[in-house]
């Protein structure tokens, strides 16, 4: 059965392996929530499925269940009322141990085949997952569908493709024949068995539970590991549905479903650190705060730890041939999901003497005000604005908006909007502040949320130096530059290579610095403090399995 | 020039990349010290070059030199009298930083081309390196030549091949073209730049300075990193010659030679831990004790740490179709380089009720004695014996021989032999002890050196359980089994996969469990406490570089 799944999806796998090599545009999962692709009733069915989950226990026939946990609240203003199985960890890990033996022995084709079948079914459930992402993260529906559904599935498939590409490089057998001069050669037959490391732990985040959680989940699963999914207490449902589907596929394929399990917890309960130190856990994929990520890197010695943490994303504004395009693009990047993206820009460096544009030389204040005005325009109609802004995931973000005001002078203040359908939703427009001189201690920290700073620098050279230093010392997932001078672009490219941060150049159209496309864009480099890994590359998968050989004379 | 080196060696590189995929026998570097291959005067020239190194400072025009260090003593009984530049670390790392920029920008073909040219020149210097390995490690000449020269070069080339195989998977550019329905597609050009992590630190060992040191050195160098080589104070010369050659090639290729530097130290001075915590050091390759290796893993947080540490290698004796072959093979494995190999067996599990052989059922004592007798025979002629045994690297090994006697009853005692040419050499034959019942606390620790235990177990099932537990908890690089029962072999294979240890089956001829052939055998699995990495695989190289992308609209 597991090999049947491999056969069923092998063509897709081959395409995915080709895509990671060429890195052009490719995606097998339709990003538009179109009835033609997903079915005429898909939206209604997904919404109904989501509604049916509310206010009851989430049924997950999982080992060692001793209670219930879960207190999710939709950022749109209502309790989900769902509880999830709360396991006794010793019982759970005992069951995982039992499940692991058969899974280990099944081998790469089974691991990959099951992974691809799970993805196929996840794709078909994209609407249900979209509503569950929307009402845990606060994303607007379209983003919840795209980033939480097909784009997350793309990132998962990408990880599976990397895993397969590495595992298939290991031959199953080899004949080793060493010449011995005039004597008969020495002949040995060698067998190479790919074995998993152990148990993978996925520690989810509250803003992109599937997009950030799937790569680690599928990279570990596709390399033969059992996986424990520990969602953020604020965004359990999307990963619980994922685990449910994974267990369904595992069962159909003849495996013990405890290969993939869920450990949900209440916000008041510490769980990630307890799980992370279990000796069975040999791989950890974490998305979250720098302090928690660094703690894992320094304490979970028994495991290989992949982290995506905080950073300070930056924009260098030097000059532009399309001032309006630039301003609109930056404003949209700041507004999208209220800046609650790990890729959203925060620090915008503008020379204090202003910049050259097709509209003539514009002062620092003019540039900052233009971005502020563009944000205002983009958010002027609440009904449209909420479809870009989404809702604020948690009250910590609101606190940061207030705290950030002390850093500079308000260019565009954060407004509270009322959502037409969800009057209780936490909706806030972006806050843009102006900072007259560079105080690194203040600006070189992440203000996660709809908070950004237009910072007056001495010159573009100063901006570049700041951006390089900021990314090197504080981490960054994205860097953006606007310039029509090739020499400046070269300097920024070199700075980005030294700081290990991906660079977007002169984005004025329909691509935004926040966006990172699977199979083409490496998400994070793993080369600065914002992340110790990249989604996805060989290094993300190659150490999740090991090879055990045996040899004997022929 | 660097690209000229790449072109010069590209055919070799292609062969090496093919070899790591098929994993049959392959080696480009002749393992026999034959005048036909290496030149009629190669041995004399190499010996003369080695002699000319003695009793003077080793000239290495390296940045930041403020003194001299080095107190190597040949295990064959004389001081080398060589001193090496002792650097001021801040000055040295400043110079490395300067050297790194040009090296980083040169790109993968230059990095690989320079690496392959260094290897080519190392190969031509194999005799000089052989004598330097012999008189630092105590290996007999033939092993010093083979393991220290061509086999070490094989392992280096293997690492370069893996590095190249991973780096070439990253396209230099991609055109990303995303359909937009009836509108023009979004089009971006993306550039992907491979960048190094920073500085690689290689911490050498005193028994196989080149064989164990080269993989990390060349893996880091071939991925664009600068490399600091910190040899064991007892075996500096082989790596100093290596660094000298590397600097010569770098200079010829137009690079700053401080891309590769040496930091030698006296035995009394702590240096490895100081270097390992330098913020510039982002990769560490270590071979040595478990305590030092574990310290690095837990403290050098700024670096990715690859370790090969101690372990307990084991042999399961269940039954055999070739008793004499088995006994001779085991005895040779114990005798070779006086057991001072990380792959040498230590614990030999034999059922207390004996085993079935073609010579009938033999008791535990008969099996143990036969191995002891075979060791005695192999070492009976000192002139021949020293060419297998070599010399004892350091007096710590002698102390362990004495300490080990308390563990069991002597089957074959360790003898002191006199080397015909080097009367002051420390020569010892293997000590084989008999242990009547299993006391895990005593036998489950590494006694590095010519020390082994014939251990009476309840049954083969008991032997397998012990071996699996021993490798899982204490680490192991090798596991060996003798059995003519397919069911037993299946059980041992499963145990080896669970414990993550390479298995050799029924070695009775010219291959020994100690031996690990580049391009075919994975040395260590990285899946048990003896090592966190394998020589070599994708995981050994893929995280030594990162990819920084930039994208712009077309």
Residue A466 domain flag: yes
> Do A21 and B297 count as a contact with CB atoms less than 8 A apart?
no
Query: Do B345 and B295 fall into the same domain?
Result: no
pLDDT digits (tens, 9 = 90+) for A349-405: 999 999 999 989 999 999 999 999 999 999 999 999 999 999 999 999 999 999 999
For chain A, what is the radius of gyration of the CA atoms? 25
Q: With beta carbons less than 8 A apart as the criterion, state whether B162 and B540 touch.
A: yes
Bridge partners, residue B175, by sequence? B189
Query: Do A250 and A110 fall into the same domain?
Result: yes
Closest alpha carbon within chain B to A500 = B548
Query: Do B297 and B243 fall into the same domain?
Result: yes
> What's the pLDDT at B344?
97
- Determine the distance in angstroms separating the CA of A163 from the nearest CA of chain B, rounded to an integer: 11
Tokens matching residue B389: 């045994």
Query: Do B89 and B121 fall into the same domain?
Result: yes
Residues ≥6 apart with Cβ < 8 Å to A269: A69, A233
> Do B548 and A502 count as a contact with CB atoms less than 8 A apart?
yes
pLDDT digits (tens, 9 = 90+) for B508-547: 999 999 999 999 999 999 999 999 999 999 999 999 999 9
Burial class (CB in 10 A: 0-12, 13-18, 19+), B66: exposed
Q: Walk across the sheet containing B226-230 and list its strands.
A: B260-262, B226-230, B199-203, B281-287, B304-308
> Do A178 and B25 count as a contact with CB atoms less than 8 A apart?
yes
> Do B193 and A298 count as a contact with CB atoms less than 8 A apart?
no
Q: With beta carbons less than 8 A apart as the criterion, state whether A398 and A428 touch.
A: yes
pLDDT digits (tens, 9 = 90+) for A125-175: 999 999 999 999 999 999 999 999 999 999 999 999 999 999 999 999 999
- Determine the distance in angstroms separating the CA of B348 from the nearest CA of chain A, rounded to an integer: 18
C-alpha to C-alpha distance for B492 and B273, rounded to whole angstroms = 39
Query: Do A433 and A545 fall into the same domain?
Result: no
Contacts A–B by Cβ distance under 8 A: 179
The confidence band for B135, taking pLDDT boundaries of 50, 70 and 90, is very high
Residues of A with CB below 8 A from B174's CB? Answer: 22-24, 520
Query: Do B267 and B371 fall into the same domain?
Result: no
Residue A547 has pLDDT above 80, yes or no: yes
pLDDT digits (tens, 9 = 90+) for B44-103: 999 999 999 999 999 998 989 999 999 999 999 999 999 999 999 999 999 999 999 999
pLDDT digits (tens, 9 = 90+) for B391-448: 999 999 999 999 999 999 999 999 999 999 999 999 999 999 999 988 999 999 999 9
The mean predicted confidence, pLDDT, of chain B is 97
Question: Residue B422's domain is classified under what CATH number?
Answer: 3.40.309.10
> What's the pLDDT at A119?
98
Name the residue facing B501 among A24, A175, A548 (closest C-beta).
A548
Q: With beta carbons less than 8 A apart as the criterion, state whether B520 and B161 touch.
A: no
Most distant CA atoms of chain A, gap in Å? 89
> Do B553 and A301 count as a contact with CB atoms less than 8 A apart?
no
Residue B407 domain flag: yes
Residue B471 domain flag: yes
Query: Do B220 and B348 fall into the same domain?
Result: no
Residue A191 domain flag: no
pLDDT digits (tens, 9 = 90+) for B282-320: 999 999 999 999 999 999 999 999 999 999 999 999 999
SS3 A506: coil
Name the residue facing A298 among B180, B301, B500 (closest C-beta).
B301
Question: Residue B190's domain is classified under what CATH number?
Answer: 3.40.605.10
The arithmetic mean of pLDDT across residues A216-231, rounded, is 98
Name the residue facing A549 among B176, B522, B526 (closest C-beta).
B522
Length of chain B: 554
Give CA angle at A242 (A239, A245), nearest 5°. 155
> What's the pLDDT at B220?
98
**Residue of A506, A547, A554 to mutate, interface with B, max B Cβ within 10 Å:** A547
Bridge partners, residue B431, by sequence? B451
SS3 A14: helix
Query: Do A374 and A486 fall into the same domain?
Result: yes
Show the DSSP H helices in B107-231 as ranges: 108-124, 126-137, 141-148, 150-167, 209-221
Instruction: For residue A286, give the H/E element and its range.
Output: strand A281-287
Q: For residue A122, what are the domain limits?
A: 2-9+40-171+197-309+534-553
Residue A101 domain flag: yes
**Residue of B168, B482, B542, B554 to mutate, interface with A, max A Cβ within 10 Å:** B542
* Residue in B531, B73, B456, B1 with CA at minimum distance from that of residue B252: B1
Secondary structure of A18-66 as H, E, C letters? HHHHHCCCCCCCCCCCCHHHHCCCHHHHHHHHHHHHCCCECCCCCCCEE
- Determine the distance in angstroms separating the CA of B505 from the nearest CA of chain A, rounded to an integer: 5
Length of chain A: 554
* Residue in A169, A155, A139 with CA at minimum distance from that of residue A202: A155
pLDDT digits (tens, 9 = 90+) for B26-36: 999 999 999 99
The arithmetic mean of pLDDT across residues B455-473, rounded, is 98
C-alpha to C-alpha distance for B22 and B209, rounded to whole angstroms = 28
The arithmetic mean of pLDDT across residues A336-340, rounded, is 98
pLDDT digits (tens, 9 = 90+) for B101-127: 999 999 999 999 999 999 999 999 999
Residue A106 domain flag: yes
Number of domains in chain A: 2
C-alpha to C-alpha distance for A547 and A271, rounded to whole angstroms = 32
Whole-Å CA distances, A294 to A217, A288, A298, A310, B152: 20, 10, 6, 11, 37
SS3 B381: coil
- Determine the distance in angstroms separating the CA of B449 from the nearest CA of chain A, rounded to an integer: 25
**Residue bearing tokens 């009629």:** B40
Residue B2 has pLDDT above 80, yes or no: no
Instruction: For residue B538, give the H/E element and its range.
Output: helix B538-541
The rounded percent of chain A whose pLDDT value lies above 70 is: 100
The arithmetic mean of pLDDT across residues A194-199, rounded, is 98
Residue A444 domain flag: yes
C-alpha to C-alpha distance for B499 and B495, rounded to whole angstroms = 6
Whole-Å CA distances, A147 to A31, A84, A210: 9, 24, 8
C-alpha to C-alpha distance for B130 and B237, rounded to whole angstroms = 11
Q: Determine the straight-line distance between the first and last CA of chain B, rounded to whole angstroms.
A: 33
> What's the pLDDT at A2?
56
The rounded percent of chain B whose pLDDT value lies above 70 is: 100
C-alpha to C-alpha distance for A217 and A521, rounded to whole angstroms = 20
The arithmetic mean of pLDDT across residues A39-56, rounded, is 98
User: B418-456 b/e with 16+ CB inside 10 Å = b?
Assistant: ebeebeebbbbbbbbbbbeebeeeebbebbbbbbbbbbb
Chain center to CA of B93: 27
User: B151-186 b/e with 16+ CB inside 10 Å = b?
Assistant: bbbbbbbbbbbbbbbbbeebeeebebebeeeeeeeb
Name the residue facing A493 among B496, B517, B550 (closest C-beta).
B550
Give CA angle at B341 (B336, B345), nearest 5°. 80
> Do A25 and B177 count as a contact with CB atoms less than 8 A apart?
yes
SS3 B435: strand
Q: What is the DSSP letter of A523?
A: B
Name the residue facing A301 among B175, B297, B522 (closest C-beta).
B297
> Do A301 and B298 count as a contact with CB atoms less than 8 A apart?
yes
- Determine the distance in angstroms separating the CA of B479 from the nearest CA of chain A, rounded to an integer: 9
Secondary structure of B26-81 as H, E, C letters? CCCCCCCCCHHHHCCCHHHHHHHHHHHHCCCECCCCCCCEEEEECCCEECCCEECC
Give CA angle at B61 (B56, B64), nearest 5°. 105
Do the bridges between strand A199-203 and strand A226-230 make them parallel or antiparallel, or are there none, so unpaired? parallel
Residue B148 has pLDDT above 80, yes or no: yes
Query: Do B450 and B373 fall into the same domain?
Result: yes
ipTM of predicted complex: 0.97
SS3 A416: strand
> What's the pLDDT at A3?
82
Tokens matching residue A543: 């150490």
Name the residue facing B502 among A508, A509, A548 (closest C-beta).
A548
Query: Do A213 and A80 fall into the same domain?
Result: yes
Residues ≥6 apart with Cβ < 8 Å to B333: B344, B345, B512, B513, B514
Residues of B with CB below 8 A from A175's CB? Answer: 24
Query: Do B294 and B321 fall into the same domain?
Result: no
Do the bridges between strand B502-505 and strand A545-553 make them parallel or antiparallel, or are there none, so unpaired? parallel
Residues of A with CB below 8 A from B539's CB? Answer: 539, 542-543
Query: Do A101 and A238 fall into the same domain?
Result: yes
Q: What are phi and psi of A491, to 5 degrees?
A: -65, -40
> Do B517 and A176 count as a contact with CB atoms less than 8 A apart?
yes
Q: With beta carbons less than 8 A apart as the criterion, state whether A483 and A495 touch.
A: no
Residue A187 domain flag: no
- Determine the distance in angstroms separating the CA of A116 from the nearest CA of chain B, rounded to an integer: 23
């Amino acid at each position: 059965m597991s090999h049947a799944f491999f056969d069923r999806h092998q063509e897709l796998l081959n395409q995915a392996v080709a895509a990671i090599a060429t890195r052009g545009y490719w995606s097998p999962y339709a990003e538009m929530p179109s009835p033609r692709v997903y079915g005429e009733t898909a939206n209604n069915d997904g919404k109904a499925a989501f509604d049916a989950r509310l206010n009851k226990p989430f049924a997950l026939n999982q080992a060692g269940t001793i209670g219930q946990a879960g207190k999710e609240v939709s950022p749109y203003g209502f309790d989900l009322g769902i509880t999830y199985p709360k396991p006794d960890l010793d019982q759970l890990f005992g069951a995982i141990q039992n499940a692991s033996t058969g899974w280990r022995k099944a081998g790469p084709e089974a691991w990959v085949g099951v992974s691809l079948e799970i993805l196929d079914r996840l794709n078909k459930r994209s609407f249900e997952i979209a509503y569950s992402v929307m009402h845990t993260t606060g994303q607007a529906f379209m983003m919840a569908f795209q980033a939480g559904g097909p784009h997350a599935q793309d990132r998962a498939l990408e990880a599976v493709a990397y895993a397969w590409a590495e595992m298939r490089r290991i031959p199953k057998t080899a004949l080793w024949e060493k010449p011995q001069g005039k004597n008969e050669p020495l002949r040995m037959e060698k067998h190479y068995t790919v074995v998993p490391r152990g148990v993978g732990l996925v520690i989810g985040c509250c803003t992109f539970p599937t997009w950030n959680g799937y790569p680690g989940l599928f990279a570990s699963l596709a390399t033969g590991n059992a996986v424990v999914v520990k969602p953020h207490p604020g965004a359990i449902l999307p990963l619980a549905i994922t685990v449910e589907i994974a267990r369904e596929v595992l069962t159909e394929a003849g495996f013990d479903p405890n290969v993939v399990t869920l450990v949900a917890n209440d916000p008041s309960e510490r769980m990630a650190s307890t799980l992370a130190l279990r000796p069975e856990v040999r791989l950890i994929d974490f998305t979250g705060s720098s302090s928690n990520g660094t703690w894992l890197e320094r304490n979970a010695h028994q495991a290989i730890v992949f982290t995506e943490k905080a950073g300070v994303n930056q924009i260098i504004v030097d000059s532009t041939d399309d001032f309006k395009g630039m301003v609109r693009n930056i404003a949209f990047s700041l507004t999208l999901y209220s800046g609650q993206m790990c890729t959203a820009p925060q620090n915008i460096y503008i020379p204090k003497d202003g910049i050259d544009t097709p509209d003539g030389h514009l002062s620092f204040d003019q540039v900052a005000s233009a971005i502020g005005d563009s944000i205002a325009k983009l958010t002027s109609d609440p009904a449209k604005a909420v479809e870009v802004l989404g809702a604020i995931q948690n009250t910590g973000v609101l606190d940061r908006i207030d705290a950030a005001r002390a850093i500079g002078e308000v260019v565009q203040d954060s407004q509270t909007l009322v959502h037409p359908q969800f009057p209780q939703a936490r909706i806030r427009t972006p806050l843009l502040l102006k900072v007259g001189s560079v105080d690194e201690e203040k600006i070189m920290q992440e203000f996660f949320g709809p908070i950004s700073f237009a910072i007056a620098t001495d010159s573009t050279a100063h901006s570049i130096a700041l951006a390089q230093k900021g990314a090197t010392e504080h981490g960054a997932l994205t860097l953006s530059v606007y310039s029509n001078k090739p020499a400046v672009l070269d300097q920024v490219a070199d700075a980005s290579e030294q700081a290990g941060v991906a660079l977007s150049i002169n984005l004025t159209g329909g691509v935004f610095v926040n966006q990172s496309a699977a199979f083409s864009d490496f998400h994070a480099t793993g080369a600065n403090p914002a992340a110790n890994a990249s989604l996805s590359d060989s290094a993300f998968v190659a150490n999740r399995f090991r090879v055990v050989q045996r040899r004997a004379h022929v």
